[in-house]
Amino acid sequence: MQDLINIGYALLKEYNIFEVKISFKDIVKGWSSEKGNISIPLWSIQKGREYALYYVIHEIIHQIIWRDYHTFKHTGEFRVLEINLLARYNIIPKYAKAYPKALYNREGTLLYQKA
């Protein structure tokens, strides 16, 4: 878990965002707030490291988009940034609207599939 949080903080630092707290919690749905709090559900880890990393990156992008556009919506800019940042970690999403229905690696191996 801590390695995922550390990746999150490194990405935030890269985008010059420093006043954010990332934590894993026993919650149903993750969220990111304008006050700089990111909460990731503990259950995301049970779906695999790649899925939990996707979740961390997804919520971090909300912070970046909030800073730049003052919205938490899944805009076109959001999607492009998410695809690019996930690719750094060899995660390729296949989307169903705003969220991925599956995650693959570059070799085409399935990492996660929504039930």
The per-residue pLDDT for range 18-74, each reduced to its tens digit, is: 999 999 999 999 999 999 999 999 999 999 999 999 999 999 999 999 999 999 999
Tokens of 98: 């705003």
Tally of structural domains, the chain:
1
Q: Residues 20-36: pLDDT tens digits? A: 999 999 999 999 999 99
Could you tell me the residue range of the domain that residue 39 belongs to? 2-113
pTM: 0.95
With pLDDT > 70 as the criterion, what percentage of the chain qualifies? Answer: 100
CATH of the domain at 45: 3.30.2010.10
